[in-house]
Amino acid sequence: MRRIVLPLLLAVVVCCGPAKDPAKTTFQTSVGWRPTLDTRADAAIVYGTISPESLQERLQSWRERGYDTYYMTGIAWGGYQDYFTGQWDGQWHLDEGQVEANGDTIWHGKMIPYIVPTENYLKYFKEKHIKPVIDAGVDHIFLEEPEFWARAGYSEAFKKEWAAFYGTLWRPQDESPEATYLSQKLKYHLYYRALDEAFTYAKEYGKTLGRDIKCYVPTHSLINYTKWQIVSPEASLASMESMDGYIAQVWTGTSRSPNYYKGVLKERVFESAFLEYGCMASMTAPTGRTLWFLTDPIEDASRDWEDYKRNYQATFTAQLMYPQVDQYEIMPWPSRIYERLYPVSAGSSEKSRIPADFASMMQVMTNALQQMPKESAFLPRYAVLMSNSLMFQNDDPYLSDFFGLALPLMKIGHRVGMVHMENLGYKKALDGVGVLLMTYSNMKPMDPQAHKYLADWVKGGGKILYCGTDTDPFQTVQEWWNTGDKHYAAPADHLFELMGIDAGAPAGTYPYGKGQVCILRQDPKDFVLTEDGEKPLLEAMDGLVKKVHPRSFRVLRGPYRIVAALDEREYTHFDGLLEEGCLIDLYDPALPVYEVAKIPRGTQALLYDVEKAGVAPKILAAASRAYEEKKGRHSFSYVCKGPAETWNVTRILLPASPTQVLVNGEACQADWDQFSKTIYLRFPNHPDGVKVEIEW
């Protein structure tokens, strides 16, 4: 049987001239510049080569407004009808779509199937969608969402790839767990190969022109793809030579997928988003690859503005909990955010464009990302072991075996981390981890070397909490632990043997070197499927670390305080958390100042600590981006830019109460707050700039 040893993948990023350092803030758009879309991020990622406007026209429209320009397109789907209908090579290729067992093709849009990435398709893709983009002056290329549906795998194209890869006749994946595992493993390989070929070509072609092409992969998290039953290369891409980084595609749409805790199935958007961002951060942490975090003020599904706002705040807070990441895709598709109509509230038939207060709040938040400092990496005390093979089983849409390890600790305030088996060869992979929680009930080790790394880590003082009955049907798929000279009934037995523990060892704690292994003979889903199910897990953790003390989700980043009061737990003083100081609430478009800020249970806060602001005058928060700042002895002026048809709200630190405030030469009301020594301004934004002049 052929084993997959995959390099890591990389997506392509494009910009004009010599490749610059990746932008701190970006957004993606399929259209050219418009006044209502002027987000004032650093870079515009222009999407697709097919549009009423040419790619070059769209790129140029954003460049003229001061943006760096990148390029993005889908690798698994896109406007590639010229390939499928034979315009490119004279042959129809609709048979290369992903096909379900009933013979139906899985479509992304009209005449846009999800693709089995054959060598012929990759030849077309490089010729028609990589080369022209580089010729257009783009040096940063993003190939997004390498997705193969778990339920697919029945097309003639896929059968041919099976024969070429495994050297055997194709087997329908629904015939057995082993056929399922092998089918998903092949899908994983195909998109690894596709990205590797596309990125390698981009870099080599760029070199012929004297240019350094950067390549990136915007992708959902491993958590989300596993829940949605999609297969993708994920963590293995982080070691791919031609891969420069990721965009972590996490937003309300991914994070609202429900999960179980205390026997209750429901949406837990903040918790899911925190784990999804952490999953992406852990993929790149040991490798040093570039990583942007994405948030979306709305989502693909049509909801209402109140729902969008509440969940955007939850996901936005979650991303800020990782101080080692300071690059962001501030939004995808600004045209659908600023210009489309959605219901004003749940159940309402009335629709509107984005409410003024939501637009202002969103712009305050995204402008804060421009200032967000990078801090020391978050090193989790407790981490869950993950592997890409989570996608190969796809037998639980709620991913309860994963959440069973993560949620009980999160709910008492611990920022649970993740470690990817694919990264264990890197020295920093287990930095800071005191206890590694793991199971093979929902994944399997893809390489025996991973066990050697784990055993060595335990020998040096690490602690593993292994939870599992090792009885699921995927334990016996034909793989390295039961082929050749290895005859283990379960893959965990190989790990245990390396640490002097008997195969199938009963529950208990076993010393090895300076470390320990605690075995619980329960599958982790047991810890979340019943009301008090987490007790055995927390008791075992208490035994390993003497006591797991409750904590709070609270992160400091320069003057910013990021706080989340989790639902489904008790708090000491009131039903939530209290923050004291001189604090501006950035999630309220009125930018109120509090001496004591209350964060009710189930909500989040982004607060600006005025005491850490520095020297006045200074803009502390604004729904615009400031340029041309000039500071005098008794004056301060600047030009601010923001999207048309939105309101700018601003709070500015001053040495004294102002005697005059002018906006574009006209007097403007300025609300002075003596406690914080700040003024609050509100006036219309304009993409060409608004001049603000203040005297005191």
pLDDT of 683 > 90? The answer is: yes
Q: Where are the domains of the chain?
A: 9-232, 382-545, 553-611, 618-695
pLDDT value for 147 = 98
d(CA 591, CA 583): 10
Quick one: average pLDDT of 507-520?
98
Residue type, 175: E
pLDDT value for 424 = 96
pLDDT of 566 > 70? The answer is: yes
* 468: number of Cβ within 10 Å: 21
Torsion of the alpha carbons at 447, 448, 454 and 456, rounded to the nearest 10: -130
Residue 658 phi/psi, 5-degree rounding, is -75, 150
Digit-coded pLDDT (tens) for 599-642: 999 999 999 999 999 999 999 999 999 999 999 999 999 999 99
pLDDT value for 618 = 98
**Per-residue pLDDT band at 136 (split at 50, 70, 90):** very high
Residue type, 98: Q
pLDDT value for 19 = 56
pLDDT of 7 > 50? The answer is: no
Digit-coded pLDDT (tens) for 146-203: 999 999 999 999 999 999 999 999 999 999 999 999 999 999 999 999 999 999 999 9
What would the DSSP string read from start to end of 30-79? SS---GGG----SEEEEE-S-SSS-HHHHHHHHHTTT-EEEEEEESSSSS
Is the Cβ–Cβ distance between 179 and 173 less than 8 Å? yes
Digit-coded pLDDT (tens) for 434-471: 999 999 999 999 999 999 999 999 999 999 999 999 99
Is the Cβ–Cβ distance between 192 and 76 less than 8 Å? no
Digit-coded pLDDT (tens) for 199-223: 999 999 999 999 999 999 999 999 9
pLDDT of 654 > 80? The answer is: yes
What are the respective helix, strand and coil percentages of the chain, to the nearest 5? Answer: 30, 25, 45
pLDDT value for 14 = 36
Q: So what's the architecture of 382-545 in CATH?
A: 3-Layer(aba) Sandwich (3.40)
pLDDT of 18 > 80? The answer is: no
- ∠ at Cα 255 (548, 425), nearest 5°? 60
pTM: 0.95
Instruction: Please give the residue that has the higher pLDDT: either 237 or 194.
Output: 194
Mean pLDDT of the chain: 94
Is the Cβ–Cβ distance between 88 and 124 less than 8 Å? yes
pLDDT value for 376 = 87
pLDDT value for 204 = 98
d(CA 113, CA 158): 14
pLDDT of 49 > 90? The answer is: no
pLDDT value for 570 = 86
pLDDT value for 356 = 97
Per mean pLDDT, which range of 50-59, 228-237, 338-347, 418-427 is the poorest? 50-59
Q: Please, is 632 exposed, middle or buried when counting C-beta atoms within 10 Å of its C-beta (0-12, 13-18, 19+)?
A: exposed
pLDDT value for 342 = 97
What are the Cα distances from residue 125, in Å, to 293, 534, 593?
27, 49, 53
